Structure formats: C-alpha cells, structure tokens
Amino acid sequence: MKNKGFLSTITILFVGFVFGAVLVSSFGWVRPSLAEVQLGSKSSPVASSMVDLKTFNDAFVQVADKVTPSIVQIRVVSSPKNKMDENFRFFFPFREDVPHNQQSGGSGVIISDEGYILTNNHVVEDANSVEVQLNDKRYYDAIVVGTDPLTDLAVIKIDADDLKEAYLGDSDKIRVGEWVMAIGNPLSLTSTVTAGIVSAKGRSLQLIEDRAGVEYFIQTDAAINPGNSGGALVNLDGAVIGINTAIATNGMSGSYIGYGFAIPINLAKSVAEDLIAHGKIQRGYIGVSISEVDAAIAKAVGMEKPRGVMVQQIVPDGAAANADVKPGDIILKIDDNEVNAPNELQSYVARKRAGTTVDLTLYRDGEEVISKVTLKAPDSDLAAEPVKEKTKKSEPEKIELRELSFDKIGFTVKDMNKKDLEKYKTENGILISDVENFGKAFNQRLFKGLVITEANREKVESVDDFEKILEKSKGEAVLLKVLDSQGTTRFVGIEIPS
C-alpha cells in the first residue's frame, strides 16, 4: 500500500510538471513578470568607453593654456548708427541710435605674427579709434585693414612683436556633440574660458539684413556673453573652429540665455585672406534666388524625398544667366558637396572668388544634369528683377470671367481681365482672390493677390485650365509658379487631395 501511494504521488508530480511546462512554453498562457520584460535594442548603438577623467580634464587645461595668449581684447570708440535686433543680437548690448561717441568692447584672434587680428565687423564698424590689449597686458593702437558686413567679419592690425598666432582648424569636420571652448573677454572680464558642446551646425538667424548676407553659424551651449564677440570657439585639439558672433537673448539684459553662435573658421579664413591681400572682398556669386525644397515641392517634381535647393529666380547678367541654369531647377550639389539648405550653398560660394568655375548638379525634369558656372562679382545691387521669359502675344480679353473655390486646398482663384494682366505685366495667369487661414495654401505661403502663371510647367490661361490640371493631379502634388505685384516669381509645391 505504501508503494502504491508513493507511485501515485510521483505520477501526480510528473503530470503537473509536464502540464506546467506545456502551459508556459507552448501556449504562452503565462505572461512574464515586469522585471523580465526586455525593451529596446539589445546593444548600445555607440560602443561604450571608459574615459580617464584626469586626462579629459587636462585637455581643457592645456587648450586654455595654449590658446588664451592668442585672444585679444578690443576697445572701440565709435559713432553708432544701427540698433541691434532685440531677440538675436550681436555682442554690443549698449548700442543705441545716439549722436555722441561711445566706447564698447569685443574680442579678437591673432591669426598672423605680423599683427593681423580677426574679429567681427560689428565690433569695429563706425570706429573712430581701435585699441588692442594683449593677454600679457600690452596695449596697441590698431588700424582697420578691411571689413565684410555680409559675413560680419573684419581684420585689424597692430604693430607688435612676439605675438602668439592661433592655430586655425577645419570647421567642415566638426561634429554635433563634440566638446568646444569659448575664449574671449565677456563683460570686460579678460581671458574668460567656458566649455560646452557643438549644439548644431548651419544655423541661419536672419541677423544680416542684406539679402546677400551669409549666415551658416555653429551653435554652441558654451556660455558666451557681450564682449565675447570676435573671440574664438576652440575644439579640444586647440584648433580655432569658429569666431564667436551672436547670442540668443531675452531682449532685456542682452546676456547669455543658453546658446551662442559662431562663424565657421573656414569661411572666416577665406574672408581674412581677401581682406589682408586686397582690403576688400572679391567674392563671386552664382546670381540666383533660392529656397529650401519641402515635401510638397519634392513630390510635385517627382523626387523620392526633399533634397537640394530650388532656383526661384535668375539675376539678369549674373553668372547663372550665362550658364545652363533655369528657374525651377533644383541644385543638388555644388562641386562634390551636397546642399540641402540655402545657407549651405551660400556658405560654400562665399569662400570662392569671382572668376572661379563651379559645377552645379541640377535636378531637372526627372534627370540630373551638370552645369558649369563661372562666378561673377555683383555689378551693383543684387536685388535685381528676375529675367523675363519670352511669352506669346496676349489673346483677346475673355468675355466670361470665372471664379472657383478649391475648399480642400483652401483658396479661391479667378480669371484675370485685361486690366489685371497689365497690372501684373503678364500675358497669362489666374488671380488668387481668397485664401483660407491655416489651410494648405496658407501653409505654403500662398496669399490673396498672387497670380498663378504655371502649374506643373504648363501655362495657366484660365480657371478652366487650372481646374483640369488639378483634376488629373489628385493624390499627387502640383508645382505652381506664382507672380506677385512687384514682378517677383517663385515656385510653390502643393499637395492635391484625392
């Protein structure tokens, strides 16, 4: 009887074990506990490494020790004329539109043992006198060698011996996230060093009001303040990679609130070389007005994803006007460098002199073409009218003028009469008579008073023409060519709902 009971117990335990195993492994009826759940990748995307903290700390100490003697303090007596923007400003928080002279300060970087110093244009513009104090407390009067307002850079010169010139690095190789140090003279505190990282590259802040201005700032969270302007942004190799230029400010104190901006040293070097050699810039231009390619434009021209920059207008007698470049082309590359934002193209061209030939890789009608463009210096005002395309003679005025609303797009268009066509100096087109707030048209910066002259490269003569083009483009995107009352044309992509 005992043996029988023992066998029964063994049998029950075995059956329970098997049944439990089946439940867990085969049917998945038992959920794992929270502690057993594995979320995310099984391995880190970046290989971990143990850093010797003392070695890391010593890198900052060594850079500060080596670079600080190359940074100078600049004092300027000037007659100010311009008031800075309140939200993004250069490092002169005290400038106002006042008639009397005033003193202000900034920083500079010694770039030659012959006494040449690189700084910002806004540090020395309108200067009546410029004084430089070296790190070793020596003082010198300086002369302004040349300035470039379009990049906010300037070169000054002192007559001094035993100067410590800075090592200028390669700003094209900087990476977001790498450690940097800002060295300058903020708030009149000489030889101040702060540290942070490269927060972003290629920022445009619209600080330079001239449409030909070049803005391709390095953004950093290293603390910089008024007086740092013209100082150095340095990596842990001790190489200057940027010239500190602007800060984000609350508009009240004019002081640092989180981010600063520096001009890439590769651009600064090119400008400095021209200023030292010629006293002025001999920069070349392509002679185009460009804009970023958004998703709607990419879809309208048959691109898989947005890339490149679109040519909106051609400057008459400019470099592009004499080459195979057309409005509506998308510039994918200049030489071997991809460009995906207008300031990327501008920054590259700004390093080139007039007479230099560059290769533009263009996207046109679904294909890539190469166009060679020899850069030209601007004759006068770059804000020229666009090249007028040849058009056929105007047809007799329409008898019936039609107006039609496209609710899913959010705008209304109407036929133009003879008076309208004469006003806009065009021989064809339809007028946008109303735009719904926050609709598709509104979000693509289409507004009342614009004239649509083309849709998908087809001339638009009437509302009927436009309706037919949109009807066959449902579920796709259409590339519109629009004209304003000033005669300026641009291309706009807009998605057409199914």
* Residues catalogued as catalytic: 122, 152, 229
Nearest alpha-carbon partner for 195 in 207, 203, 183: 183
| Cα angle 319-347-60, degrees, rounded to a multiple of 5 | 160
User: Residue 341's CB: how many other CB atoms inside 10 A?
Assistant: 17
* Phi-psi category of residue 355: left, alpha or beta, with phi > 0 → left and psi -120 to 50 → alpha: left
Instruction: Answer for the pair 205, 220: CB distance below 8 angstroms, yes or no.
Output: no
Type and span of the H or E element at 106: strand 102-110
Q: Where are the alpha helices (DSSP H) in 392-439?
A: 418-424
User: What residues pair up with 482 in beta bridges, in sequence order?
Assistant: 452, 490
List Cβ neighbours of 14 (8 Å cut-off, separation of 6 or more): none
What distance in Å separates the CA atoms of residue 50 and residue 56, rounded to the nearest whole number? 11
User: What residues pair up with 73 in beta bridges, in sequence order?
Assistant: 107, 133
User: What residues pair up with 232 in beta bridges, in sequence order?
Assistant: 183, 243
Compute φ and ψ for 178, nearest 5 degrees: -80, 150
Instruction: Answer for the pair 275, 154: CB distance below 8 angstroms, yes or no.
Output: yes
Instruction: Answer for the pair 483, 453: CB distance below 8 angstroms, yes or no.
Output: yes
- DSSP labels for 432-490? EEEE-TTSHHHHTT--TT-EEEEETTEE--SHHHHHHHHHTTTTSEEEEEEE-TTS-EE
Per-residue CA distances from 246 to 18, 88, 161, 220, 451 (Å):
73, 7, 31, 11, 39
Give the three-class secondary structure for 198.
strand
Instruction: Answer for the pair 472, 461: CB distance below 8 angstroms, yes or no.
Output: no
Nearest alpha-carbon partner for 172 in 1, 347, 39: 347
Instruction: Answer for the pair 389, 313: CB distance below 8 angstroms, yes or no.
Output: no
